[in-house]
Structure 1
Amino acid sequence: MNPLLEKFNTKYTSSPFEEIKEEHYLPAFQELIKTSEKEIDDIANNSEAPTFGNTIEAMAFSGEQLDRVSNIFFNLNSAETNDEIQKIAQDVSPLLTEFSSKISQNEKLFDRIKTVYDQKDSLSLNEEQQMLLNETYKGFVRSGALLNDEDKKKLEKINMDLSVKSLQFGQNTLASTNAYFKHITDKEELKGIPEAILHQYEEDAKEKGLDGYVITLQYPSYLPAITYAENRELRKELALANGKKSFDGGEFDNQNLIKEIVKLRQEKAELLGYKNFADFVLEERMAQSPEKVFNFLNELLEKATPYAQKEIEELKSLAKADGIEDLQSYDHAFYAEKLRKQKFDLNDEELKPYFQLEKVQEAVFGLAGKLFGLEFKEIDDIQKYHEDVKTYEIVEVGSGKLEDGSTEKGFENLSLTTDNYQPSTNYKALLYADYHPRKGKRAGAWMTSYKNQYKKNGENSRPHISVVCNFTKPTKDTPSLLTFNEVTTLFHEFGHALHGILADTQYPNLSGTSVKWDFVELPSQFLENFCYEPEFLKTFAKHYQTGEILPDEKIEKLSQSKSFMEGYQTMRQLGFGLLDMAYHTKSDKVSDIKTFETEETKATNLYPSNPETAASPSFSHIFQGGYSAGYYSYKWAEVLDADAFQYFKENGIFNPEIAAKYKILLSSGGTKDPMELYKNFRGSEPKVESLLKRAFGE
């Protein structure tokens, strides 16, 4: 029996991870693709006249089991992969691409869609139905439905090739990351690195059967080394290894893949009638055009450059005191940490004991309770894909508005209780929390979904959401302790999770995070702002051994430090954004990857470029993930989040009326134009001045 082909007979129809074997995947995909093809054929060949219900709505609910299995498989390919799963992914991706192409090129189906679309003004559709109809029609046109047969075949081949090459890019990056480690036996070489990190390096060495210490390119291992190691040569070696990922001409080199991917994307855009791939992508974004994106990025570049240059000059002064006349990029984190300690007397390792992972998670859960009336209960009757994963049942126990109607209440009782909220218990979602690195997990942090929310046959089918991070594992003596940056990372990903958890739409493809790509980062970046609010920090920043609250002066400095190195960080993000836009507007200029990257980012580079390193070959966001011609959206969303949080700050950061309006924005998913959603919440369009004020005090 193949569990992926059966109805999931589990609590909340959760994924039956413990029953799934690797040999189940390929047969399940093959069978479910056939089933889904039949569903589509039945819609296309329906003898009844096309209607919204029997065509548009029927399509929205088709392929449900295939979607579930795809989510399980590809999520595990990121969070718990192995050689066999990666091999299966290479086999499965072309099958899914071919299936998708068949749907988008089904002429009978498109004729029915077009018939309904042409009648849209005479149909009595509500706003969400209108959005579904528009998105369905546009989706087909953008997938080549209006092309002739020859061009349709060309497009199908391009999509197939892109699917395979993007997957290979990600696998190469992961393999290149895992291939390197630095083995050190002399502790003196690690001077400056905190003892807690050294313990982790010892554990990593033992895992490899080695004495001494091992540093890897995994973020929790790499970052402390280049931040604290006094050994400059060690910092240089690690930074060089990190910068050479998939850029060393070896087995996992991605340079040719980049050229092939951008060339294919350009061909796709031209085939569909667009000047370039960025034009194609941005038609479906808030930004709308490459010109608008370039103007946005260059406006921020002009504002940020003098601040960033001033910051680098401060670091150079510090370095000169150590006899370093040529400050390099691999020195940045070390001297930035020194300067941060000098300015704010803050040190990540001194702060970490106050940020125990479990307490930080409690805080973010409590925040969701305070704002939105959610309560989280850990449960053990849901199957997991790894023993590190924890599972939570989320219920809604109130509207998020306090009984007395107050906008501010004592923060000491931040965690939600049924005493101070209107009781209305109601299952909302499942949450999978997966926080620690392992060999089969890619680097970084992300939120994903195993099941979307939707309403069908009178039932509101609730979502299954996952938050995946790479935080340092607990040891036998010490719990998992987070850097402050990791604290904000958890809040960031949980902001995405709330977008999924609060989803309340009719159709799965308009639910949760199914919004315009430059709107999707608003909820995540918005939630990070709470980490800098002193009274909120006091509720959870407590020493894991003594229970002592982080001292007031540290909290105040932490709050002030939010804009520390903001110029540098802005320039770094702008560099990535400009590079992304360059790849997707100037694909014909991409001959040598390093030369192209250097030229396109020179206005944002604050340090000399190393000829042995390049960011592009491991730039998974745009060559594997969904951020191609969209990396700018991180900064775009910062304008949104700064403006949104300013609204809360002006009226009380836990103001229940504003929280209720924000909850509507989150729960609406992609059912409305995002700018309309934002204006309904805020009362006006977002202002870039909100971001400049937060970042630079302008």
Structure 2
Amino acid sequence: MTKFISKRTMLNFDLSPDDIALTVDEMIAESKAILDQVAAEAVPTFNNVIVPLATRENTQNADYSVISFLQNVSTKKEVRDASTKGEEKLNAFEIEMIMREDVYKAVRAVYDNPAELAALGPEDLRLVGKMEQEYRHNGLALSVEKRKKLGQINKRLSDLGIKFNSNINKSTGRVLFTREDLDGLADDYFEGRKMEVVDGVEKYVVTTKSPDMSPVMQAAKNEQTRKRLLTLNKQLCPENIALMQETIALRTEAAQLLEFKTHAEFKLSKVGKTPKEVMNFEHDMQTRLQLLAKTEFKKLEKLKQAENKAAGVPYKGLYLWDHRYYSTLLKEHEHSISEDEVKQYFPVKEVMRGILDIYQKMFSLRFTKVENPPVWHNDVDMYEVWEATSDDFVGHFYLDLYPRENKYNHAAVWPIRAGYDREDGTREYPVAAMVANFPKPTGSTPALLTHGNVVTFLHELGHVFHGMCSVTKWAKFHGTNTERDFVEAPSQMLENWGWEPSVLRKFAVHHKTGEPIPEDFVKRLVAAKNKGSGLSNLGQVFFGLYDMAIHDTADGKVDAKAIYNKLREGITMFKNGDIDSWGMATFGHMMGGYDTGYYGYLWSQVFSADMFASRFFKEGIDNPKTGLDYRREILLPGGSRDASVSLEKFLGRKPNNTAFLESIGLKLD
């Protein structure tokens, strides 16, 4: 039986454009009153300055999140537009407020008062430090003229980022292919697929959304088919080229106003690193990975050469549109792994049941599905989260798993509401939403996931439960509000469950027969795990080095498109071919908070591999004590302490890269 949750706990996603506009205006008015009061305090203290500012962030974070979230998921254009407009207005206000010298003086007075700081606990002390840093990094230590200029730049940067990502959400491309063009695709790919007749020929509609595109890139035998679809995908959002160019220039100008040489230097200073450290890390990984990648590349070359010879076509090289196709073919040849065969054992309902069960047991939680939930679309499921051994409520989360028009077109988690301590001593509970684009049911076939989808599911739910299990006093530190280069580590660690035979056998069942996945099949799947790890991780190195190339520049005058194409071909080894493309125009990370932080994906993999190998693999992946230790030391603190402290407490030592290198098949020095 579903337990009663107070209205204060539930969130309303059924907002009209007028509702959004009214909420935005109310938030701004309330915020202005709070900041005016803080600035007027004659004797600034932690209680009359820091607490009101942090409490505002606590209480307004959910309203802000809902307003900005709707542009990614709403089916109504007017709501999406109002969401975008509302986010722009709120961000502009926040930039204006963070530039208030009178408020900064009050914050700085507390920061500089030893007597005030001496009385604070660790999280409150961290709050004061982070708050002072935010104001300083927004130019409050600058002259009035420079501060005004920085405010104008930050306002423009906010608008550019919102517009860039809005363009991506609207940018689904489509191609028409004959059945012959799509030779190699499984029969269920065509079930229920839209068709159009062109010059008397029936053609299938294929979009650039993942459930359409991924199978084609993996299985279409016709190279021109793969090339056409990839080209379309890499030519989406041409309008974003100019937006990114302007952003890079403005970020550089802003950093130099703050007396940093480059944007990279400015951003990395926040996490105690330098561009040189990041570049050394990326180049070291590139050197190590190339040893694997060159061998892998030669195997793929042989496959294409053999196919070309059989077809009487001259071999001209491996191109971007060949990578996934021949990598899939290599797995089939060396391990008898067929992607089509694999997905027969991963019907989405069984996968969801199995993965949710994993998280329940690992973290000592229990989930209750909410019937007829207040959600933004009928496809969305809502779950309540409770402690497994008590009636203590933990939070709730949403799963929005299938593609639709104008929906965010990748996989991500939105921390809709942070958990925090209310002023009356009670607890506000966290809310998170996982948004994905997994294949939908087709005709008589249920929704079937690839093994890659399963790993993605595990990863994204890792972000959800980082939020669910975090318990902090202030929203500023809740859940994934950690150092940027640690954010991905907990979720990456949980991907390992997708490769454990004992785990897969619990939920991988054939969608027709109900038979569990054969043991030999699992062994072959796991044995193929590291196939292509050199090339795939070089892809991560490419993104990280591209991030640094456009942001560690002293003049901001870079050709973002040309650098993207040059680095991609040079690092990943696959040719760009004769197509004119601008893949950076849909590289949302660069405009969504990961700028100068993409290195963190590989950096955090070092931590995730160490956590898994040193504790879970050694002590047992079903060991409840290990799961609770992980929940207590890694998830619960969120960003309320340095990630290095959390890691050392969980590991019992400082982390190292041994487990990571071994996990991808690299020999140690």
TM band (smaller chain): over 0.9
Normalization by structure 2: what TM-score?
0.93
> What whole-Å deviation, never above 9, does each CA across 1:488-525 have from its counterpart, x for those lacking one?
00000000011000011111111111111111001111
**Equivalent position SS for 2:427:** strand
**Aligned ranges 1:599-610 → 2 under 5 Å:** 599-601=566-568, 603-610=570-577
Q: What residue is the counterpart of 1:649 in the other structure?
A: 617
Q: Is the 8 A contact 1:263 1:587 kept in 2?
A: no
1:325 maps to 2:325:
no
1:105 maps to 2:99:
yes
Looking at structure 2, the residues matched to 428 and 211 of structure 1 have their Cα atoms a distance apart, in angstroms, of 53
1:536 maps to 2:503:
yes
Q: What residue is the counterpart of 2:271 in the other structure?
A: 285
Per-residue deviation at 1:76?
Answer: 1.5
**Aligned ranges 1:627-638 → 2 under 5 Å:** 627-638=594-605
Looking at structure 2, the residues matched to 684 and 290 of structure 1 have their Cα atoms a distance apart, in angstroms, of 27
Looking at structure 1, the residues matched to 572 and 421 of structure 2 have their Cα atoms a distance apart, in angstroms, of 49
Per-residue deviation at 1:603?
Answer: 4.1
> What whole-Å deviation, never above 9, does each CA across 1:226-245 have from its counterpart, x for those lacking one?
21111221111111111212
1:683 maps to 2:652:
yes
**Aligned ranges 1:303-314 → 2 under 5 Å:** 303-314=288-299
Q: What residue is the counterpart of 1:376 in the other structure?
A: 367
Q: Is the 8 A contact 1:589 1:596 kept in 2?
A: no
> What whole-Å deviation, never above 9, does each CA across 1:573-625 have from its counterpart, x for those lacking one?
100100001111126364433332244445413122235123212111112x1
Out of 122, 128, 151, the position equivalent to 2:123 is 128
Out of 435, 448, 451, the position equivalent to 1:484 is 451
Looking at structure 2, the residues matched to 86 and 272 of structure 1 have their Cα atoms a distance apart, in angstroms, of 35
**Aligned ranges 1:54-133 → 2 under 5 Å:** 54-62=48-56, 64=58, 66-80=60-74, 83-120=77-114, 123-133=118-128
Q: Is the 8 A contact 1:36 1:63 kept in 2?
A: no
Per-residue deviation at 1:203?
Answer: 4.2
Give % identity: 29
Looking at structure 1, the residues matched to 514 and 372 of structure 2 have their Cα atoms a distance apart, in angstroms, of 32
Looking at structure 1, the residues matched to 487 and 230 of structure 2 have their Cα atoms a distance apart, in angstroms, of 31
> What whole-Å deviation, never above 9, does each CA across 1:446-500 have from its counterpart, x for those lacking one?
0112211001222121111111110011234122110000000000000001100
Question: Aligned letter for 1:677?
Answer: S
Q: Is the 8 A contact 1:500 1:511 kept in 2?
A: yes
> What whole-Å deviation, never above 9, does each CA across 1:640-661 have from its counterpart, x for those lacking one?
1111101121222233333222
**Aligned ranges 1:316-465 → 2 under 5 Å:** 316-323=301-308, 325-326=315-316, 327-397=318-388, 423-456=389-422, 457-465=424-432
Question: Aligned letter for 2:9?
Answer: T
Moved more, 302-311 or 34-43: 34-43
**Equivalent position SS for 2:181:** helix
Change in Cα spacing, 1:546 to 1:120, as seen in structure 2 (3 Å) is: farther
5+ long unaligned stretches in structure 1: 1-8, 248-252, 398-422
Looking at structure 2, the residues matched to 32 and 651 of structure 1 have their Cα atoms a distance apart, in angstroms, of 49
Out of 188, 192, 214, the position equivalent to 1:223 is 214
Per-residue deviation at 1:317?
Answer: 0.5
> What whole-Å deviation, never above 9, does each CA across 1:1-27 have from its counterpart, x for those lacking one?
xxxxxxxx9645322223x21232123
Q: What residue is the counterpart of 1:555 in the other structure?
A: 522
**Equivalent position SS for 1:95:** helix
Change in Cα spacing, 1:590 to 1:174, as seen in structure 2 (3 Å) is: farther
Q: Is the 8 A contact 1:14 1:382 kept in 2?
A: no
Question: Aligned letter for 1:364?
Answer: I
Change in Cα spacing, 1:587 to 1:89, as seen in structure 2 (3 Å) is: farther
Q: Is the 8 A contact 1:77 1:85 kept in 2?
A: yes
Out of 29, 33, 45, the position equivalent to 1:34 is 29
Question: Aligned letter for 1:558?
Answer: L
Looking at structure 2, the residues matched to 666 and 81 of structure 1 have their Cα atoms a distance apart, in angstroms, of 33
Q: Is the 8 A contact 2:58 2:476 kept in 1?
A: no
Change in Cα spacing, 1:204 to 1:565, as seen in structure 2 (3 Å) is: farther
Aligned length: 649
Out of 115, 138, 145, the position equivalent to 1:150 is 145
Looking at structure 1, the residues matched to 581 and 658 of structure 2 have their Cα atoms a distance apart, in angstroms, of 36
Out of 179, 183, 200, the position equivalent to 2:176 is 183
Q: What residue is the counterpart of 1:274 in the other structure?
A: 260
Per-residue deviation at 1:211?
Answer: 5.9
- Cα-Cα RMSD: 2.0
